[in-house]
Chain A
């Protein structure tokens, strides 16, 4: 990654300042990201702490004035893949490329036109949307979090995830269709309950 080529030589005071003013303000967003990736509170805590300590260790490769949030999110995502994904309970996605190819086919695009209305969202006052999000495959839930919750631009997402912008765009589109599909299942089951 090109950022690692930059080597600053911050003093301890500068390091502390960057950590407090640029890294710490992102800690809630980072914790949420860690939780949505691992889906376990304890793993999320470990992942967050590992990431922050790693960020501090590599603070000299962070360029002051650049996007600290994107830099931190990228470290967290890489730590998750290298250290957590392997041991997570989620079944391994060996055939992920197949999955992605499937969701990218025009065929699926036509099939998935979830029947979901704004009014049914109004009834989802509990954990429905959070559960729906968590039920998506990790790569799909990741793009929704980065875009819809954290407001990253496609270009920033491409850097965080190490994928081309076109893939960001199409993955987001599929992810949102899948989320709607899940929500419309909930809406249906809620409808049955009140009927």
Chain B
């Protein structure tokens, strides 16, 4: 999107919360193709608040996946495996 196109966008969205819910179900893979096409194609190109929300939602998901994962400690993994083997041996 270039600067000129940005300038022509609406700066208010009368349905911002509803749009946000729809946007989230699209990103969650829970929206229909029709909802997706309509929103991503038409609405995002003309609505600044929703355009910004879209990028914010995507960025938060990226950050969550990058920063909020944890590896199980190896000694714990080994001990769980060991206990299961003992269980089977009984």
| Cα A52 to Cα B80 with chains together (Å) | 7
Given contacts A31-B71, A149-B69, A183-B60, contact A176 B76 (CB under 8 A): no
Majority-rule SS of B interface residues: helix
B52 touches A144 (CB 8 A): no
**Total inter-chain residue pairs, C-beta < 8 Å:** 100
**B14 interface contact, C-beta 8 A:** no
State the A residues within 8 Å of B (CB).
12, 15-16, 19, 24, 27-28, 30-32, 35-36, 45, 48-49, 52-53, 56, 109-110, 113, 116-118, 121, 124, 127, 129-130, 133, 144-145, 147-149, 153-154, 169, 172-173, 176, 179-180, 183
Selected A-B contacts with CB under 8 Å, 19 pairs: A15-B88, A16-B88, A28-B71, A28-B72, A31-B76, A36-B68, A49-B79, A53-B80, A53-B87, A56-B84, A116-B56, A118-B56, A118-B59, A124-B63, A129-B60, A129-B67, A145-B68, A148-B61, A173-B24
A35 touches B24 (CB 8 A): no
Chain B 64-78 interface 0/1 with A at a Cβ cutoff of 8 Å (1 = within): 110111111100110
Segment of B2-10, B25-33, B34-42 engaged in the interface with chain A: B25-33
B28 touches A52 (CB 8 A): no
| Cα A183 to Cα B59 with chains together (Å) | 12
State the B residues within 8 Å of A (CB).
16-17, 20-21, 24-25, 28-30, 52, 55-57, 59-61, 63-65, 67-73, 76-77, 79-81, 83-85, 87-88
